Structure 1
Amino acid sequence: MPHKNLEQAGFDEMNLSPDVFAALQTVGYETPTPIQTKTIPHMIACKDLLGQARTGTGKTAAFALPLLSRINLKNRHPQVLVVTPTRELAIQVAQSFSDYGVKMKGLNVLAVYGGQSYGVQLSQLKRGVHVIVGTPGRLMDHMRRKTVCLDDLTGLVLDEADEMLQMGFIDDVEWILSQIPQSTQIALFSATMPAPIQKIAGKYLKNPEKVIIRHDSDVTSTIQQKFWLVKHVKKSHALVRILEASSHDGVIVFTKTRNDTMGLTKILEEKGFKAEALNGDIAQAARERTVNRLKNGNIDILVATDVAARGLDVDRISHVINYDMPPKTEPYIHRIGRTGRAGRSGEAILFVQPKERWMLKRIENATRRKVEEIALPSNREINKKRMDDFKNKITQTIGTEDLSAFTDLVETTAKEQDVPIAQVAAALAKMLQGNTPFLLKETAEKPAAKKTAKKPEKKAKAPVAPRQKQTPDRLRPNKISPTEEGMERYRIEVGYKHGLKPGDVVGAISNESGLESSFIGNINIDYDYSLVDLPFGMPKNVFNLLKGTWIRSQKMSISKYAC
């Protein structure tokens, strides 16, 4: 009988220990994800592994399940070490090990990270631990103090290695790798493979098996990406409207600064949303409580900075809103990867300033998906959502609560006041709502009235000299209009002596860069050169592309204009 393909194998065919397999049934895992089917057999066989996969693909289980299956519970020294870039991720990964090892009697898992008392960590280490998950700095401290002994280590995992590189921990990681026993199995996981990560893999991993989860299996395939073009409406007001009109569970709103997290959280709370801020100024214990409140449904919206949200893993996230544009495509992908996990669908909404359309194009290229433009919800849509939500709450209460005492009270009140029961119910709803209007005003759009004007009486015209053909202002040489806010001025080496027209400039730039014509600003055409205003922050690759673009049989040779 032919051997079954490993990539078609279920958890029951992966040689996991009976206790680990039993735990999978407890947590409800049935079918392995692609990275799990490709990784677990190699890890079980004690081979080093180099895995490339983005967040949300199930990689924690991919390394935790096989490593737990080999642990000797009688040995109270650390046998597994996982290095993570952030304390949040360390806590998440440690919890996953505990969940997958729930049937392993006496298993001890410890998360070590900065911001937590040394005393708590030292007391647990003295009692003995089997698995340590930690950040580089605190791990190094324990190793130098000899409070962590890694002589019995059998497996080490570097999780989110590219994040560690970005955060400046790569030298610390190398030091840790240099201290472990030569026989230790090493698994390195990273969303991207920049040269320094490849160098570490080449230096410390022994003939590693390579597992790559391609973009077509990426988490972005389960995420509906949308953007709202910022104009005429305050961003905070727009956010409230979008949240009001959407059916969401957990939401993460990303902002640039710590102050923004606090200010925006206050606005959302005033509008009745259950929101909290998460930023680097908040103490670690308070941050952990906030994340747990989001997990448990005590709050629905987290307003966070990138740094504070690193490693955040909460299953109930249905929406990620990029309130501020991330500086690069990679943080954007990491942000939206916190929704649409494990095959579930998610929604990502990006707020885009007109001058940021360049970055939107780069995001579409990086995710290989079109980002759909959305309009702000109308008052009518918001009112419908409010009414639907109100009716759903009534339906749920009718189906789950004992209402007999209130039924008698409503009926008695209706008889005493000689009014219909519906009026009493409406009064109760008004009491609950308070003075805030339940519905927004809906203004019907009226068609514009047709203007009728009397035709002027024809008068005899005095003879005049023939008029010279006028040159439009933006074509008139040497009359240069000021640059608009959010735009930059560029010079191209083509002018009206070459027969250049504005449409030529617009067509060439739109076709080559993908920038819509409506975002191309003033065009001033002179004799042998022209000036054109484009959104601020043109990417280098687009700039180089435009340099070699031809218009009217002339190279554009675009350059920054210095007035």
Structure 2
Amino acid sequence: MATYPAQDASSSEDGSSPPPPDSESPSTPLPQTFQELGVIDSLCEACNTLGYSAPTPIQARCIPVALQGRDLIGLAETGSGKTAAFVLPILQALMENPQQLHSLILAPTRELAQQISRAVEALGATISVRCTLLIGGMDMVPQSIALGKKPHVIVATPGRLMDHLENTKGFSLRHLKYLVLDEADRLLDMDFGPILDKLLKLLPRERRTYLFSATMSNKVESLQRASLTNPVRVAVSSKNQTASKLLQSFALIPLKLKDIYLVHLLQERTGQMGIIFAHTIHETQRLAIMLRHLGFPAIPIHGQLSQSARLASLSKFRARSRNLLIATDVAARGLDIPSVDFVLNYDLPSDSKTYIHRVGRTARAGKSGIAISFVTQYEVELWLRIENALGKKVDEYKVDKDEVMVFSERANEARRTAAIAMRDMEDRGRGNRMKKRKRTRDDMDQEEK
């Protein structure tokens, strides 16, 4: 792991810095327009074009602090609009003092990095910002060529960025002005600590740094002390908070009937956009095959797919050519997919933090959404722990068992078909899975499987 000293956040001048000051009280009335925050007209125009009618709380509290030239720690729940909270100040600073290789934004996963890159390009369209994306799973040569054209903003995963710093001739970040560490808790959970150590040594000390995270763990506190100078901390949500317009429920069902209940639930939501979370790659593939056999437009996404296949799955889902995304926790964090009507936990997550990130895929940006969790007879204690972390009891999703069992024959046939297809896939891939290989930087910037 990283070499940052593991000290408590309340430590003072005994080798660590004191806790950063908080921003204004959350009870302070928030500005209602980006102009009121101090954002320049050209960027306000971009916000209007993208449908950003009013700043979200994290944007309203972070942007004025960032525009004052302060280092910043932003703590907010998933789906809060934090990407614009750091992109807008960076672009405004770039407008005031144009410079090549001006800003670096680090993200833990390829999908999140790609999403941030799109946001930079969209918000910077009116000011002709050049943005380069550096992620694993892609050819380094086109990326090196793009770096040679000296972009204004680089969005990268840590492993691929370090590969370019070590191997791409003429590329350095010695004159960087802004560094953003997005999903900082996730960066450290994925063992990027040693790479971050190296990167921080290569970056100039005279820079502005923004750190955004869903949680403020000891690791993140240590990273803050190593990378930020006298930061302002902005928190707009309490621990384990879900979106206010999210309607949560659970269905208590027998384990052996999960597939039948799934088919019944999806039949009730025909045509809606939904993400179904499962524990394993095997289960994700099996459910996708089973549902497609039943006529549901489902597509899987998990960490064992190639990067191009994962991006293709997300593109089809975003374009609504497939309205069901069957996912492992590869899709639980960071991905901003508009208009997801519901999230279904086919398998319960192992902890409340993952639950919150999963259900955060819906009810985003002020919209409403539904989250339903299947709870089998073996998972009642786990569900009670999740409820306890949420600080409230969740309503039960009650269904008529007779109505559910109408689908038993079709569901069981589809399950048998999927089992046969899975055996065939495993037979074809057994040889490749037997080969073990060392984990590389390219592997690291994927989400967990």
1:176 to 184, 195, 199: 199
Separation in 2 of the partners of 1:22 and 1:57? 21
Shift of 1:159: 0.6
Q: 1:154 to 1:244 in 2, by over 3 A?
A: same
What SS does the aligned partner of 2:137 have? coil
Q: 1:377 to 1:220 in 2, by over 3 A?
A: farther
What SS does the aligned partner of 1:343 have? coil
Q: Is 1:122 matched up with 2:153? A: no
Shift of 1:38: 0.4
Separation in 2 of the partners of 1:151 and 1:37? 31
Shift of 1:382: 11
What SS does the aligned partner of 2:211 have? strand
Q: Who is 1:342 aligned against? A: 365
Query: Where do 1:49-448 residues align within 5 Å?
Result: 49-72=72-95, 77-105=100-128, 107-147=129-169, 148-215=171-238, 218-231=241-254, 234-246=257-269, 249-307=272-330, 310-376=333-399
Q: Who is 1:397 aligned against? A: none
Q: Highest Rg: 1 or 2?
A: 1
Shift of 1:257: 1.0
Quick check: 1:314–1:338 contact (8 Å CA) kept in 2? yes
Aligned Cα root-mean-square deviation (Å): 2.3
- 1:374-418, Cα deviation, whole Å (9 max, x unpaired): 2335676999xxxxxxxxxxxxxxxxxxxxxxxxxxxxxxxxxxx
Separation in 1 of the partners of 2:376 and 2:134? 41
Q: 1:16 to 1:232 in 2, by over 3 A?
A: closer
Q: 1:9 to 1:284 in 2, by over 3 A?
A: same
* TM-score, structure 2 as length reference: 0.80
Separation in 1 of the partners of 2:350 and 2:241? 22
Quick check: 1:313–1:338 contact (8 Å CA) kept in 2? yes
Bigger relative contact order, structure 1 or 2 (CA pairs below 8 A, ≥6 apart)? 2
Quick check: 1:230–1:354 contact (8 Å CA) kept in 2? yes
Separation in 2 of the partners of 1:358 and 1:378? 23
Quick check: 1:174–1:200 contact (8 Å CA) kept in 2? no
Quick check: 1:53–1:190 contact (8 Å CA) kept in 2? yes
Amino acid aligned to 1:97: V
Separation in 1 of the partners of 2:287 and 2:126? 43
The number of equivalent residue pairs is 379
Quick check: 2:58–2:85 contact (8 Å CA) kept in 1? yes
Q: 1:271 to 1:66 in 2, by over 3 A?
A: same
Q: 1:57 to 1:119 in 2, by over 3 A?
A: same
Q: 1:336 to 1:232 in 2, by over 3 A?
A: closer
Shift of 1:347: 0.9
Quick check: 2:255–2:376 contact (8 Å CA) kept in 1? no
Q: Who is 1:413 aligned against? A: none
Quick check: 2:341–2:369 contact (8 Å CA) kept in 1? yes
- Sequence identity (%): 37
Amino acid aligned to 1:374: Y
Ranges in structure 2 where 5+ consecutive residues have no aligned partner: 1-27, 411-449
Amino acid aligned to 2:142: V
Shift of 1:271: 1.3
Quick check: 1:219–1:341 contact (8 Å CA) kept in 2? no
Separation in 1 of the partners of 2:136 and 2:225? 29
Separation in 2 of the partners of 1:9 and 1:289? 37
Separation in 2 of the partners of 1:177 and 1:259? 39
- 1:41-90, Cα deviation, whole Å (9 max, x unpaired): 01111110011112101100111111111115995621111111100100
